[in-house]
Chains A and B, each alone.
Chain A
């Protein structure tokens, strides 16, 4: 437990993704099976354990500690599991392995659980008690995605991220065959039906780059503003995956039900009402859910718009040219909720530029350009596929607050809140952390230090003087933001040292872009 607890604590305070990755990889390299497998499953949320209620924990603590002191402590610490971990009397610490704690939480009956938890707490030191209680309450909150886990695993041995993705969904904790493979053993056979296949990604482009290419070598399609998914229907098993291989099937039963085909298809997940495709904000309401209610299924029906086939009726098409895959895709009948993204008609890049500039629907965010002869290659090869996104929207906003960054930006104010005019007031409309160069970061930091009017802990309120051009990819209505709108992917595209704050944009300008 000691090593697991130390890892959890370190990850909890480490903001940088690379540093997290390194800590995770070194842990997995150092710790033997099965503990590392259990740890990995716990971090990625793939560990099914009995959940222990706060009232059970509180009851246990009340048996050991004066109730008034417990309450005072809880008020101070603010987290019940942490309070109990800190306050629990030290017993004989003998560092039981994580697998024992997991077995306890998996296999203990309800009646025996309180005594078993207390006995385990008696064997642990304070950090390990916290790790155990976080595990027991199902509340690690560490932020390690399955993708990050696969990156760490790929750093340990020969198997690459795409290879790991391919077998990921057939694996169960504590993953002994997986670690065996990484150590040079045999590749585990993917036992699961409907596995995820690593996807092919595009690179951004512009007219200058395209001009050097022959237009007739390429297909073009609209770039839809949904999320890229892979839908797999295999021997009666149906799954919907995000492009990083997260299984999102449970949130989309309507799409799963409509997948009346046999194969692995590539396309865009969209909310669709009859012929019309709804904006991204509507799709967002359906994302990140464990389950979905009837109301939402009716008001926000989801569907697929396909653009490629990987496997079709038992045949792997990935080695074929796009043109041939596309012909098979066009000849298939998918029934309701699923259709095929149309090809665009263009003779030269100027034609395509004109289409891109004036798409038929707001939910189109540019065009995709793909070589007709491209096989389906996992990863992001440069050349076969391009995305040519529409120009970002921009507003001129006033910097209102700044906060210091971490890691490489330690000591610099790099996190900015900006606002727009609403009558005589400036209303915060978003935050931006990037878009500026290192030299600009220094200038911004100097501005922040010289123009701080008040401090709230790590946050500085600024004199509303500096105008920045904020570029963003889209806008959604939002009830969580004071301004009522939320930007997607906002960044500072220019610093307008020249522009007086009074000439910054108004909220109404932003609302008009909705």
Chain B
């Protein structure tokens, strides 16, 4: 098939021979197109990087100024070698994009990680008509139907009222999820100061420069943290940092919290089902909406998505790319 000539999986990731670039490469390459700033998609050491201005800012923030030889801001369609590439919002985290690669009359859209749910911290997913749609399948099983985030925030607020003397420590990844949770709390009318772990400071500051309102944030590094709500990266819960809190309620904001066994493994008391990925209804609805002639599945529960495509009579295949984890979840 023609599409295979435009993009195909290699050990370093999806490769476009006509354009001489990789998309979200898993190891250093000469030319890389990056969908978003999560560390399994955005790695250091590439010769040249093309990404949105926000993704480049985020990479610089996380990996330092010398993360790539040269960088270029993606802004509008761009001709690279024999193909045209374009970056369109993916609704996953700030700066996240789908990348469309067009050669002749064949267009492939690599969606990276994406979400269809409204998210106050980033631009919404923009459907792009295509011949091949490359989808993630992080939550590619019909058991994943995320409740509205407002219900989860209500659960958190109710718990804080039920246990007013217990600090609520919510685990959320530093890029995207932490700001998403804070913004959802603000949307729900919670306007008290929220304490954030030191590892979240730089990214929250950056989100603010991009016009995302996070309200009053205070550092959760002091010996005495007075804010009842504290957001921290999940890794912080294994460190002595937690010991400064008296009898905390530990929560975790992730799509995985929809499944009890996963929540138990984490040892959390308050699982919050808040995700920046598509759930099953959104994923299958996206496939129906775009109606591509073929679906490629990158990472996650590929079998579920492929079975759905089989039932919907859309040709589909797994790309079997190894190395994407779910940092964002």
Contacts and interface: CB of A to CB of B under 8 A. Distances in A.
Interface in B267-309: 267-271, 301, 303-304, 307-308
A72 B304 contact: yes
A12 B260 contact: yes
Contact of B142 (A13, A87, A442): A87
Contacts of B169: 410
B265 A404 contact: no
A65 B250 CA distance: 35
A83 B259 CA distance: 9
Contact of A69 (B250, B263, B307): B307
B307 A76 contact: no
Contact of A73 (B142, B240, B260): B142
A68 B267 contact: no
A410 B248 contact: yes
A100 interface: no
B223 interface: no
B190 interface: no
Nearest to A405: B267
A433 to B, nearest CB: 15
A445 B240 contact: yes
B247 A408 contact: yes
A76 B265 contact: no
B186 interface: no
A92 to B, nearest CB: 16
Contacts of A78: 261
Nearest to B281: A90
B269 A15 contact: yes
Most chain-B Cβ atoms within 10 A of its Cβ — which of A22, A72, A79, A457? A72
B259 A76 contact: yes
A491 B286 CA distance: 57
A15 B24 CA distance: 41
Interface residues of B, number: 41
Interface in B115-147: 141-145, 147
Given A13-B270, A68-B307, A126-B147, A76 B141 contact: yes
Most chain-A Cβ atoms within 10 A of its Cβ — which of B239, B258, B259, B261? B259
Nearest to A441: B243
B261 A457 contact: no
A77 B142 contact: no
Interface in A461-512: none
Contacts, number: 91
Contacts of A458: 267
A87 B267 contact: no
Interface in A184-237: none
A82 interface: yes
Contacts of A79: 260-261
Interface string A76-101: 11110011001100100000000000
Interface string A422-449: 0000000000000000000010010001
Contacts of B105: none
B162 A22 contact: yes
Most chain-B Cβ atoms within 10 A of its Cβ — which of A23, A68, A412? A68
B23 to A, nearest CB: 28
A410 B304 CA distance: 37
Contacts of A15: 269
A335 interface: no
A406 B143 contact: no
B216 interface: no
Given A22-B162, A404-B267, A410-B250, A72 B145 contact: no
Nearest to B273: A126
Interface string A1-23: 00000100010111110010011
A319 interface: no
A69 B159 CA distance: 35
A449 B241 CA distance: 13
Given A73-B142, A76-B143, A87-B142, A410 B258 contact: no
A407 interface: yes
A72 B260 contact: no
Contacts of B239: 411
Given A66-B307, A411-B241, A406 B267 contact: yes
Interface in B194-242: 237-242
B245 interface: yes
Interface string A84-124: 00110010000000000000000000000000000000000
A13 B270 CA distance: 7
Contacts of B144: 86
A362 B264 CA distance: 42
A267 to B, nearest CB: 40
A65 B308 CA distance: 11
A82 B142 CA distance: 12
A225 to B, nearest CB: 35
B304 A69 contact: yes
Given A13-B263, A77-B143, A404-B238, A72 B269 contact: no
Given A69-B141, A72-B141, A408-B247, A77 B261 contact: yes
Nearest to A74: B143
Interface in B142-179: 142-145, 147, 155, 159, 162-163, 169
A318 interface: no
A195 to B, nearest CB: 35
A76 B301 contact: yes
B311 interface: yes
A169 interface: no
Given A13-B269, A13-B271, A82 B311 contact: no
Given A76-B301, A412-B243, 11 more contacts: A13-B270, A14-B269, A19-B163, A22-B163, A72-B304, A76-B141, A86-B142, A86-B258, A407-B248, A408-B247, A410-B243
16 contacts: A13-B270, A66-B311, A69-B141, A72-B141, A72-B301, A72-B303, A76-B141, A78-B261, A83-B143, A86-B258, A404-B238, A407-B248, A410-B237, A410-B245, A411-B240, A411-B243
- A-B pairs, top 5 by smallest CB distance, nearest first, are A411-B242, A86-B143, A411-B243, A73-B143, A408-B247
